[in-house]
DNA sequence: CTGAAAGCGCTTACAG
DNA sequence: CTGAAAGCGCTTACAG
């Protein structure tokens, strides 16, 4: 391509930013006085302050966060580790984090781990080198030594729906156990006796908790569960469809299926329709999370709502409190889920057998 | 709440990180030699380098990005402005940006503007104070003086699907005009003569381009368009449903509707069904973007695919090139759209009038 | 090939 | 109430 003459605005390469020294010169005051006037850390007479303020706006001064960080060891940025922002579960949660972070003057560095330990490790190193003030961990990876070493280092950390055996950190999550109990009882009350469950990605604490909740609930309702009716998935739509197909192909197929998340439940709907079965007359299907799709009329998925924004916002608040007070007691906040009944669940079919 | 005795690991408050000085002491070499050995900026003898490397790992040294940034004026972080990460259009785009950014050693600061100029302004100031190396602007806000001042300042910037009159910056976008042409021609070929269009959020360049494309296409196909069949929306599902209701209530209702984005098209589906009309026998509906929901079988929305990941990834590449070479010619990259035909579009109904 | 010194732009004891 | 100086942890001319 020949150069068409369009170029980046020629000379105005990074124009020099005004520094605190410029303000000092413009106002005829000392650096320290300018700094104190601007940051309100020490008493400065009103007349001096006004002089400083005027000089600052005159020269267009904005403090360098970098220089400040080097000196104060605070960056006012926090990192967040998520599995994949393109998974519809995360954006709302991240919004919650970002909303309170930005209100509190922090900015948010987004890291997608793809649920991989090596990526998580790399990101954690980067965030530490960056000297973030804290990290929100929502990546769902169950084990990682890096987490331990951060805990030892005293770096503020908050876990979302994720625990590390052997470490005690601030935690925000939903009560998957009770949620699953409510869900199973609801189905049981509708007459369902063969209830299937599609598990989430292996290695995720949330997947484990939801499974445990299912097992426990079925234990108390039915005295146990049929492990063949538990099929593995990986949170994705297609994995949900596949898991459901396996269950529906059984001689004694379930009359209700709980997806470990909405995406898998939605995939299961596709499978159920493939089998020529009606929802909910033949098979009921329930998801977990309540992503925005689930509320749309053609999905209208009954689901156990996970208050994602609130969880994210709460995690950010907890993290920031921790940053401001390292010695406060550990907090462990459990946010309730809510069963949202829509069109995909109903009474169990009259048993044919 | 009484203190339950669980406390943050007591003393290990921010343990001191090893500094370059520690490495110098441990190796018996000078600071500058250590720095040069670690950063490869100057020749260092192999034996010295090895000594440095060993000392560095021994003391667990990791360079402080902050100190380095203060000195080099590079932060290796970039910001991204989006309308709202919870809008399903953005996550995939952000993923694209993040994927190449992280590969290139940059981290990504996420900012949600909620399509508001004041929020955008605030974020821009923060990002400048943070001295990010560059900014990706995907927030769709049409005017903002801050953009201008960044351009003047020479801060690397890349616009996604968004132009600013009077400024020349790097740009990555899709060809909405051709895309709309293809879409309208497709519908025209199916016999549709009354084609409705739901507009995107006012003030967005993309919304404007799509509208312009629609008008232009209809001009060449039909010699003009019926402005009554253009109804405003704001990108949201509900706004799409409302806009569609207005069109469907008309005496001469459209036989096909193009949603300015998929979310609005999906909302329109709801409206069409409310009116007791069949899709596509009575009304065809087409979206723009191809968000993940649209591919699901019960939506199965015909749509003009917007390669979001690619657009994001390309924008990041362009931005990083710009950061590395301020004087390179401006680039303007147009990524083609693709009409994905699914179940919601078909032949126009035989006219009853 | 290596070292001593200056300096990036701030904040914060320490004097006065 | 204000100022001069040290220092955060690096990199980079400048000497040798």
What pLDDT, in 10s, does the model give residues B98-144? Answer: 999 999 999 999 999 998 999 999 999 999 999 999 999 999 887 77
Closest CB to A330: pick one of B6, B69, B125. B6
Contacts of A123 in chain B (CB under 8 A): 102
CB count, 10 Å around CB of A224?
Answer: 10
What pLDDT, in 10s, does the model give residues A20-41? Answer: 999 998 988 888 899 999 988 7
- Residue B9 is predicted with a pLDDT of 36
Classify A137 as helix, strand or coil.
strand
Q: Is pLDDT of B209 > 50?
A: yes
Nearest to A66 by CA among B64, B212, B129, B305: B129
pTM of the predicted model, to two decimals? Answer: 0.92
The per-residue DSSP string of A107-130 comes to EEEEEE-TT-HHHHHHHHHHHHHT
Evaluate the CA torsion angle A36, A39, A40, A45 in order and state its sign. Answer: positive
Look at strands B230-232 and B195-199 and give their pairing.
Answer: parallel
Closest CB to A66: pick one of B69, B90, B99. B69
Q: Record the tokens describing residue A145, joined without a space.
A: 């030594």
Best B87, B127, B156, B296 residue to mutate vs chain A (most A CBs within 10 Å): B296
CA angle centred on B273, ends B271 and B276, rounded to 5°: 115
Cβ–Cβ below 8 Å for A66 and B15: no
**Stretch (H or E) spanning A82:** strand A77-82
Phi, psi of A182 (to 5 degrees): -60, -45
Nearest to B145 by CA among B169, B171, B114, B124: B124
The gap between B47 CA and C1 C1' (Å) is 11
Contacts of A192 (CB under 8 A, 6+ apart): A254, A255, A256, A284, A348
Percentage of residues of chain B with pLDDT beyond 70: 95
**A vs B: CB pairs below 8 A:** 196
Bridge partners (DSSP) listed for residue B160? B172
Q: Which nucleotides of D are covered by protein (CB under 7 A)?
A: 1-13
- Residue B7 is predicted with a pLDDT of 35
The gap between A95 CA and C6 C1' (Å) is 45
Residue-wise burial string across B243-269, b where 16 or more C-beta atoms lie within 10 A, e elsewhere = bbbbbbeeeebbbbbbbbbbbbbbbbb
**Chain B nearest C-alpha distance from A37 (Å):** 19
Q: Which of residues 64-103 of A touch strand D (CB under 7 A)?
A: 67, 70-71
Kindly indicate the confidence band of residue B3, based on its pLDDT and cuts at 50, 70 and 90.
very low
Kindly indicate the confidence band of residue B352, based on its pLDDT and cuts at 50, 70 and 90.
low
Cβ–Cβ below 8 Å for A73 and B154: no
- Residue A162 is predicted with a pLDDT of 86
Q: Determine the residue of chain A that is closest to B236 in CA distance.
A: A292
Q: Record the tokens describing residue A345, joined without a space.
A: 């669940």
- Residue B162 is predicted with a pLDDT of 86
- Residue A10 is predicted with a pLDDT of 34
The per-residue DSSP string of B96-144 comes to HHHHHHHHTT-EEEEEE-TT-HHHHHHHHHHHHHTT-SEEEEES-----
Q: Quick check: do A20-63 and A176-306 share a fold?
A: no
The region that residue B114 occupies, defined by phi over 0 for left and psi between -120 and 50 for alpha, beta otherwise, is left
Residue with tokens 């900026």: B41
Phi, psi of B76 (to 5 degrees): 55, 35
Classify B22 as helix, strand or coil.
helix
Mean pLDDT of chain B: 91
Cβ–Cβ below 8 Å for A111 and B98: yes
The per-residue DSSP string of B189-235 comes to HTT--SEEEEE--TT-HHHHHHHHHHHHHHHHHHSS--GGGEEE--S
- Residue A3 is predicted with a pLDDT of 35
Classify B183 as helix, strand or coil.
helix
Q: Is pLDDT of B215 > 60?
A: yes
CATH for A20-63?
Answer: 1.10.260.40
Q: Is pLDDT of B90 > 70?
A: yes
- Residue B153 is predicted with a pLDDT of 85
B257, B283 in Cβ contact below 8 A? yes
**How many CA atoms does the CB half-sphere of B104 hold within 13 Å?**
23
**Chain B nearest C-alpha distance from A224 (Å):** 35
Alpha carbons B114 and B61: distance in angstroms, whole number:
41
Phi, psi of B266 (to 5 degrees): -65, -40
Residues in chain B: 353
The gap between B258 CA and D13 C1' (Å) is 63
Cβ–Cβ below 8 Å for A130 and B77: yes
Q: Is pLDDT of B21 > 70?
A: yes
Kindly indicate the confidence band of residue B351, based on its pLDDT and cuts at 50, 70 and 90.
low
Look at strands B302-305 and B338-340 and give their pairing.
Answer: antiparallel
The answer to whether the bond into B280 is cis (omega within 30° of 0) is yes
- Residue A230 is predicted with a pLDDT of 97
The gap between B33 CA and D16 C1' (Å) is 15
CB count, 10 Å around CB of A11?
Answer: 8
Mean pLDDT over residues B196-205, rounded?
A: 92
What pLDDT, in 10s, does the model give residues A190-217? Answer: 999 999 999 999 988 889 999 999 999 9
CATH for A176-306?
Answer: 3.40.50.2300
CB count, 10 Å around CB of A22?
Answer: 18
Ranges of H-type helices in chain A? 20-27, 31-39, 46-59, 65-72, 90-103, 117-129, 145-153, 176-189, 205-222, 237-248, 262-274, 292-295, 308-324
What pLDDT, in 10s, does the model give residues B230-281? Answer: 999 999 999 999 999 999 999 999 999 999 999 999 999 999 999 999 999 9
Residue at minimal CA–C1' distance from C2?
A: B33
Mean pLDDT over residues B279-288, rounded?
A: 97
- Residue A16 is predicted with a pLDDT of 76
Q: What's domain B74-170+308-332's architecture?
A: 3-Layer(aba) Sandwich (3.40)
Contacts of A297 in chain B (CB under 8 A): 270, 273
Domain spans of chain A?
Answer: 20-63, 74-170+308-332, 176-306
Burial class of residue A145 in the structure, from the number of CB atoms within 10 Å of its CB (0-12 exposed, 13-18 middle, 19+ buried): exposed
**Stretch (H or E) spanning B149:** helix B145-153
Contacts of B63 in chain A (CB under 8 A): 129
CB count, 10 Å around CB of B62?
Answer: 14
Per-residue pLDDT of chain A (353 residues; tens, 9 = 90+): 333 333 333 333 445 789 999 999 898 888 889 999 998 877 778 888 888 999 999 999 999 999 999 999 999 999 999 999 999 999 999 999 999 999 999 999 999 999 899 999 999 999 999 999 999 999 988 777 888 888 888 899 999 998 877 778 999 999 999 999 999 999 999 999 999 999 999 988 889 999 999 999 999 999 999 999 999 999 999 999 999 999 999 999 999 999 999 999 999 999 999 999 999 999 999 999 999 999 998 899 999 999 999 999 999 999 999 999 998 999 999 999 999 999 999 999 986 55
A265, A237 in Cβ contact below 8 A? no
Q: Which position has the higher pLDDT, A56 or B12?
A: A56
Of A268-272, B78-82, B269-273, B325-329, least confident by mean pLDDT is B325-329
Longest CA–CA span in chain A (Å) reads 94
Q: Determine the residue of chain B that is closest to A63 in CA distance.
A: B129
Q: Is pLDDT of B154 > 80?
A: yes
What pLDDT, in 10s, does the model give residues B169-192? Answer: 999 999 999 999 999 999 999 999
Alpha carbons B52 and B270: distance in angstroms, whole number:
66
Residue with tokens 């293809």: B182
Phi, psi of B311 (to 5 degrees): -60, -45
- Residue B5 is predicted with a pLDDT of 33
The gap between A106 CA and C16 C1' (Å) is 38
- Residue B16 is predicted with a pLDDT of 75
């Amino acid at each position: 391509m020949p150069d068409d003459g369009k170029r980046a605005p020629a000379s105005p390469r990074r124009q020099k930013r005004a520094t605190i020294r410029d303000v000092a010169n413009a106002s005829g005051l000392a650096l320290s006085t300018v700094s104190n006037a601007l940051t309100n850390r020490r008493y400065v007479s009103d007349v001096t302050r006004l002089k400083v303020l005027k000089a600052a706006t005159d020269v267009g001064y904005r403090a360098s966060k970098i220089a400040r960080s080097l000196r104060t060891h605070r960056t006012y940025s926090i990192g967040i580790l998520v599995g994949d922002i393109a998974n519809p579960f995360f954006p709302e949660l991240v919004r919650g984090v970002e909303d309170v972070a930005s209100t509190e003057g922090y900015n948010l560095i987004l890291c997608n781990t793809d649920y991989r330990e090596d990526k998580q490790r790399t990101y954690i190193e980067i965030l530490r080198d960056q000297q973030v003030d804290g990290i929100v961990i929502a990546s769902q990876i169950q084990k990682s030594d890096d987490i331990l070493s951060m805990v030892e280092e005293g770096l503020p950390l908050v876990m979302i729906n994720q625990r590390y055996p052997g470490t005690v950190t601030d935690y925000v999550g939903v009560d998957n156990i009770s949620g699953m109990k409510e869900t199973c009882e609801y189905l049981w009350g509708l007459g369902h006796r063969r209830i299937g469950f599609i598990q989430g990605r292996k290695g995720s604490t949330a997947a484990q908790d939801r499974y445990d909740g299912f097992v426990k609930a079925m234990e108390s309702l039915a005295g146990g569960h049929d492990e063949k009716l538990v099929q593995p998935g990986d949170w994705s739509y297609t994995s949900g469809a596949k898991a459901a197909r396996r269950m529906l192909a059984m001689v004694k197929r379930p009359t209700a299926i709980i997806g470990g998340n909405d995406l898998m439940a939605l995939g299961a709907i596709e499978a159920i329709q493939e089998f020529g079965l009606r929802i909910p007359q033949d098979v009921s299907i329930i998801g977990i999370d309540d992503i925005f799709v689930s509320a749309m009329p053609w999905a209208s998925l009954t689901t156990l709502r996970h208050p994602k924004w609130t969880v994210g916002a709460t995690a950010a608040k907890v993290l920031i409190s921790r940053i401001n007070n390292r010695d406060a007691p550990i907090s462990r906040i459990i946010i309730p889920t809510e069963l949202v009944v829509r069109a995909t669940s109903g009474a169990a079919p009259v048993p044919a057998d």
